[in-house]
Structure 1
């Protein structure tokens, strides 16, 4: 689906056969037909100024992204963000059916890191990376089918205002400790979340049952590292409390992931080719 020549819509933009999926935090999510295509639409329902600022911020960040593993913004306004509809479950849906195989988990994580490298190259951090925000297009569990979504908590160095400054951004089981303290994270915060994501894929659950206790430093308990021992050094590094002890860039973490995959005799997907 191509972006229209004028991506700004009028009130009479004409969504047809729409179906509301959810209403949360003053934002309605729905699916419908527009211009002959199925689209996913987020609509701001509240006139609360801070909510409007955050919604506009999400649209500005989404408009900067152009990557095959990130669901693109195709049109906007007023108070609407329009994306192509991606048919397929979330990674959360898939993991709830049971842990992934090491090959599947590494392939999906490889795709997520590929998308994150694009974000980070543009000065953007996601800040809410979790299985619910990773779609598997067509239901296929492989890196080429990963689609990263939801930039409502993201930060961009290129935008003039840091609207999330001083707030706790993210989901406790998947957020980095520094995010919980209200410190604006950097790419290493996203990479912590990737480590939790990989752990979750392999084990079927995140590493810390008492996520809040871990985040505030009251609990050191962590479930045993899942998967083959060849993956444990990567998981241990990514899940470090101190950002300095984690992989420092998405590309560096990809290198560690590739080395671990090769030690297991596994091939990672060529993201330039169709998924088999």
Structure 2
């Protein structure tokens, strides 16, 4: 245990040193420290006509049959983000035998709610239709997201109209994982988010907590107790309680060491000492029964 902690500290020190030396962003550093011999990546696959409607597929390097599949959505307050910044997420999942799909989606001000969710639904539908060619099993399909991407995953799993427009239902999703997601945030306090949801006339149906129904896919909700951007008690705790009341299988897990940002960063190899988020995600995927 002490040896692994020293290794983590050494990697973190190296990342900080490189940051100061080269002026790189922390995300670029995490990706620079991410190995590339655990996966093969197919980049820039179009799932729609817009330049933002593209995705990357990370396939485990070792041979597999009918691997589980995770479609991952990044955060960024629905006004920023790029799938390439999250290569460390694709590697983390692929190294554990999971096919990972990282999807871009249109952002504000190009679109507002619910159009970016429609993009997510199209990306999921593309995955279900084509992932078998990448050794993934479309019957073992999971959604996952961090921050506003966690919101996207939640809405796709809970609001049946979104996947319904693509010929799917939430029953086609084996389960979903939310990392520090906002699931109950009206009235909106963040000024950058307000126009995305037509503030002050934000529709109540835009909230995942108002979309819960019996029969929704099982959920794993992970949050940081020190999150000062998305209140973990109201959002993760509140949604977990609502799901349990509806009889939906849910696990909610809280970690004290990460914050809002480093919760997803703990999926990367240099920062896994912060919290066993990857182990939780993989365990959930491995042990979620078929519906």
Q: TM-score, normalised by structure 1?
A: 0.30
- TM-score when normalising by structure 2: 0.29
> Could you say which structure has the higher helix fraction?
2
